[in-house]
Amino acid sequence: MPQYTPPLRDMQFVMNEVLHVPDVLKTLPAHADIDADTVNAVLEEGGKFASEVLFPLNRIGDQQGCQLNPTNHEVKTPDGFKQAFQQFAQGGWTALSCDPAYGGQGLPIVVNQCFYEMLNSANQAWTMYPGLTHGAYECLHAHGSEEQKRMYLPKITSGEWTGTMCLTEAHCGTDLGLLRTKAEPQADGSYKLTGNKIFISAGEHDLVSNIVHLVLARLPDAPAGSKGISLFVVPKFLVHADGSLGARNGIHCGGLEHKMGIHGNATCQMVLEDAVGTLVGQPNKGLAAMFVMMNAARIGVGMQSLGLTEVAYQNALAYAKDRIQSRSLSGVKSPEKAADSILVHPDVRKMLLTAKAYAEGGRALSLYCALLIDQELNHPDEQVRKDAAEMVALLTPIVKAFITDNAWTATSSCLQVFGGHGYISEWGMEQYVRDARINMIYEGTNTIQSLDLLGRKVLGNQGATLKKFGKLIADLVAAESDHEEMAPFIQPLAKLGQQMTQFTGEIGMKALGNADEVGAAAVDYLRVAGHLVFGYFWARMAQVALKQIEQGSKDPFYKSKLQTARFYFAKLFPETASLMQFARAGSEVLMDTDDVFA
């Protein structure tokens, strides 16, 4: 049946040998005393929690789902979820990367990222409760008043309370400028909010005593559109000045969505009826404040899919080794058995290697982004902080969209390895496919991410940030140009890096005459950019592995890494050629189709 082993060795490889995380942390005063041994110890214990506590609850959560009591609007989570959250909080895991000023442990984001990958592999639905809470923490930490921070952050940090973000309404998804929820000022400086929200993950549950909702709403005199949105903190229970809980607030769950996956997480329809809230930040500036949480959530969704890719791969590999069926096309491999294992078949290996390559590439990219965030938040040099923030902004839509698209491919391939057993629930694979599918929609669909990347992050600054990433590639290519063993990785990466400049320029010029050209090219463009970024990290991982082998290492880990890198560049990276052809086909064949839809 399903199994999961935390990939600690690969995490250590990426952090210590590829990204040199301990050296980078030494440049950050807040983390200068954190060494590799400390990080390894934390992740080892975190892996035990994920595999021993959360993983056994994954199928239970999928089978039981959440139950709403329509009388009191309370939601019961699946068996074991509440106890696991209590254990999680008591172990200090909620406080891992939070500010020590509010009871946090102050560990780097890069450590938290590794931990959350393991949690997502073990149980994505459960992990969304603390994951969204951490996003609410970050938003209040960045934009909350001193009073709001004092009132809410210690309880959120300790795991006594959780948090949500309440954005979406039935008539508007990504287009938040259309939202209708109203906030009426009160004499005491508070506001009363009235409206309805949908698709609110973890909006109601029984894990903790209070839920802190961050709600987008409009003030009476707010301008139309996204410029008239304000952000409010609205607790489930009102909070007295001494931190104790008061009366139930006017916000409740009016219904649960019945979903194809992540059944263990309560996706709620939230009703606000004169709910008391306080303004976060400045009036009509709520969307900018909420973007702190939204961007964190976008990277978090990428981590959800990374976790699913890893656990699906582990289970498919174990099955392929044990399952015997037919004989190898090139001759019998296990004559002592009635048949060979299906691992001898080229296409089975292709499916497994696809998942492995996407998991390990996604891990390198997401940890790189996490390390950039640590630099953005903590580096003493303002220019370093600025550069790190700029690169994170470029890479965030790639983390969200490319990794989640890849997970859909990978989990589907891993299910295919199981053949008929793949869609039988007891093997667990069909749940990973169902859970993975929603991540392509969450926190802005992947098309929205593609438009953000191409329209805002690339064309919006004439490719300036993309050129900075291109310089990283150029430096790697120059350093390894005379290394023959690196040619299978460096040559295709260098070629795509050169093509990317022309490709981007072509789309930009076409878009000057017709903005639909951006919409027609964006999804394909993001996948090309995703492969460019993955290719860079795969080349760096191959570089380290080759060096270790050339220095005499016999560790099979490095040989495995090289073999996976060769597969990635030979079988997955070439997708970029067809993607660029698709993008260059333009918008006319899409938009000049009115008769089709008549």
State the catalytic residues: 443
Burial class (CB in 10 A: 0-12, 13-18, 19+), 592: exposed
Q: Which residues pair with 272 in a beta bridge?
A: 195, 251
Residue 579, phi-psi category: left (phi > 0), alpha (psi -120 to 50), beta (remainder)? alpha
Helix H, strand E, coil C: the string for 176-220 is HHHCCCEEEECCCCCEEEEEEEEEEECCCCCCCCEEEEEEEEECC
Rg of the chain, C-alpha, whole Å:
24
161-166 and 210-217 beta bridge pairing: parallel
Q: Is 450 helix (H, G, I), strand (E, B) or coil?
A: helix
Which two tokens mark 525? 């463009």
What gap in Å lies between CA 145 and CA 151, rounded to an integer? Answer: 10
Q: Is 273 helix (H, G, I), strand (E, B) or coil?
A: strand
What φ, ψ does residue 279 adopt, rounded to 5°?
-70, 135
Rounded to the nearest 10 degrees, the angle between the axes of helix 429-439 and helix 382-417 is 140
Residue by residue, DSSP assigns 6-33 as: --HHHHHIIIIIIS-HHHHHTTSGGGTT
For residue 156, the 8-state DSSP code is: H
What gap in Å lies between CA 26 and CA 37, rounded to an integer? Answer: 14
Which two tokens mark 381? 């040099």
Q: Is 351 helix (H, G, I), strand (E, B) or coil?
A: helix
Residue by residue, DSSP assigns 523-578 as: HHHHHHHHHHHHHHHHHHHHHHHHHHHHTT---HHHHHHHHHHHHIIIIITTHHHH
Q: Which residues pair with 216 in a beta bridge?
A: 231
Say which residues have a Cβ less than 8 Å from residue 384's Cβ, sequence separation at least 6. Answer: 375
Q: Which residues pair with 164 in a beta bridge?
A: 213
